[in-house]
């Protein structure tokens, strides 16, 4: 009986660690071109139901090794991604790109290093800076609370190598060209083009049939980035969320933003307030009403558009 208090103390002092079997349910990888695979996560916010997993992890198999882009939202999601990756190649992961600071895209880094501890992690310099300045704890806490603690055991493994706009990483015979900005979806965004395959990974600057949460970004920047994605004229576009496709969905997002900004500007000039604008915009944007998170993001988008117009 005397051992009981000691046991209790041990139980309460032991940090919660993710066990090796602690992994989200498997999602299939889709081969989107000769050397590139994408797992299209379910669209929506992280939840207990989706076990935190809702982004589009991808990998590119080069002559020397594998390059991973955005391995997911938690160590549990990253482990699922690594298990699917290993079904497609025996080569080691040598590099990981994180498209931006939002945790659904990079908290899976830990799972990559569990298997390949020497992989190089690359991101926007402001992503690295913000992660070190508290965005790491913010996203770990948010992910855990949104999933009722499912992601416990996840640690923030922050990239160490900075990627600049226009920089090219030559890896295993492929060229990864960076198109970055500091005013788009999260102000820490990389778009990555594989030159030889003409594939563009847009990160969350472009989503497919999903309305964007722009609380950390600007319309001005994300519209510019969307146009840049179109100008690059890629054969294949891999969005941060939603299905991979051709330029059609990129042009759809551009049209959506153009309608929204034009209409907000017109009504702002007429002296209308945001709550008067909302029903008008819901009508003008009705072609997009079935997009994921359309309803949730419409109000905040209008407020942001007004703020940006006022700052012009």
Question: In whole angstroms, how close is the CB of 130 to Zn ion at the nearest point?
Answer: 15
Of 11-19, 27-35, 101-109, 280-288, the window that binds Zn ion (rule: CB under 5 A) is 101-109
Residue among 140 and 306 whose Cβ is closer to Zn ion: 140
Residue among 62 and 99 whose Cβ is closer to Zn ion: 99
Question: In whole angstroms, how close is the CB of 203 to Zn ion at the nearest point?
Answer: 8
Of 148-156, 178-186, 196-204, 299-307, the window that binds Zn ion (rule: CB under 5 A) is 196-204
- Under the binding rule (CB under 5 A), the answer on residue 70 touching Zn ion is no
Of 154-162, 203-211, 222-230, 295-303, the window that binds Zn ion (rule: CB under 5 A) is 203-211
d(CA 112, CA 95): 10
Residue among 159 and 240 whose Cβ is closer to Zn ion: 240
The answer to whether residues 171 and 95 touch, using CB atoms and an 8 Å cutoff, is yes
Q: How many residues in the shown chain lie near Zn ion by CB under 5 A?
A: 4
Question: In whole angstroms, how close is the CB of 157 to Zn ion at the nearest point?
Answer: 18
Question: In whole angstroms, how close is the CB of 105 to Zn ion at the nearest point?
Answer: 6
Residues 107-126 vs Zn ion: string with x where CB under 5 A? Answer: --------------------
Q: SS3 for 52?
A: coil
Question: In whole angstroms, how close is the CB of 240 to Zn ion at the nearest point?
Answer: 5
First to last CA, the chain: 72
Residue among 35 and 204 whose Cβ is closer to Zn ion: 204
Residue among 189 and 204 whose Cβ is closer to Zn ion: 204
For residue 294, what is the enclosing H or E element?
Answer: helix 294-310
Owner of token pair 């959506």: 256
The answer to whether residues 110 and 73 touch, using CB atoms and an 8 Å cutoff, is no
Residue among 128 and 277 whose Cβ is closer to Zn ion: 128
- Under the binding rule (CB under 5 A), the answer on residue 104 touching Zn ion is yes
Residue among 104 and 252 whose Cβ is closer to Zn ion: 104
Which contacts of 112-115 are long-range, i.e. CB under 8 A and separated by 24 or more positions? 112/68, 112/71, 112/78, 112/82, 113/157, 114/75, 114/79, 114/82, 115/82
Pairing between β-strand 66-69 and β-strand 93-97 as defined by DSSP bridges: parallel
Hey, CA dihedral for 81, 244, 210, 207, is it positive or negative?
positive
Of 136-144, 197-205, 230-238, 264-272, the window that binds Zn ion (rule: CB under 5 A) is 197-205
Residue among 47 and 89 whose Cβ is closer to Zn ion: 47
Q: Which two tokens stand for residue 196?
A: 């030889």
Residues 238-257 vs Zn ion: string with x where CB under 5 A? Answer: --x-----------------
Give the ranges where 103-166 is alpha helix by DSSP (H): 103-106, 109-115, 125-130, 136-146
Residue from 16, 19, 15, 14 nearest 114 by CA: 19
Question: In whole angstroms, how close is the CB of 69 to Zn ion at the nearest point?
Answer: 12
- Under the binding rule (CB under 5 A), the answer on residue 189 touching Zn ion is no
Q: What is the DSSP string of 85-116?
A: HHTT--SPEEEEE--SS-HHHHTTHHHHHHH-
Among residues 35, 70, 204, 263, the one that binds Zn ion under rule CB under 5 A = 204
Binding positions for Zn ion, rule: CB under 5 A: 102, 104, 204, 240
């Amino acid at each position: 009986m005397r051992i009981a208090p000691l046991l209790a103390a041990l139980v309460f002092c032991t940090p919660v660690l993710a066990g090796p079997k602690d992994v989200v349910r498997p999602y299939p990888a889709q081969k989107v071109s000769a050397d590139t695979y994408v797992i299209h996560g379910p669209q929506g916010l992280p939840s207990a139901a989706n076990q935190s997993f809702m982004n589009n992890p991808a990998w590119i198999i080069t002559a020397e090794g594998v390059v991973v882009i955005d391995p997911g939202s938690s160590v549990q999601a990253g482990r699922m991604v690594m298990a699917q990756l290993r079904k497609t190649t025996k080569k080691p992961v040598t590099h990981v790109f994180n498209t931006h600071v939002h945790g659904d895209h990079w908290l899976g880094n830990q799972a990559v290093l569990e298997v390949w501890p020497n992989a190089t992690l690359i991101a926007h310099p402001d992503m690295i800076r913000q992660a070190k300045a508290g965005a790491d704890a913010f996203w770990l806490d948010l992910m855990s609370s949104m999933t009722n603690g499912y992601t416990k055991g996840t640690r923030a493994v922050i990239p160490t190598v900075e990627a600049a706009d226009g920089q090219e990483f030559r890896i295993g015979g492929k060229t990864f060209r960076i198109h970055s900005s500091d005013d788009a979806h999260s102000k820490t965004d990389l778009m990555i083009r594989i030159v030889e395959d003409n594939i563009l990974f847009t990160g969350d600057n472009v989503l497919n049939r999903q309305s964007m949460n722009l609380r950390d970004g600007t319309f001005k920047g994300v519209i510019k980035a969307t146009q840049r994605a179109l100008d690059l004229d890629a054969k294949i576009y891999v969005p941060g969320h939603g299905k991979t496709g051709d330029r059609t969905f990129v042009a759809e997002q551009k049209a959506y933003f153009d309608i929204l900004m034009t209409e907000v500007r017109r009504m702002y000039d007429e002296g209308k307030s945001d709550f008067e604008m909302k029903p008008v915009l819901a009508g003008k944007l009705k072609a997009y009403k079935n997009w994921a998170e359309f309803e949730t993001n419409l109000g905040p988008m209008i407020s942001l558009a007004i703020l940006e117009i006022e700052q012009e």
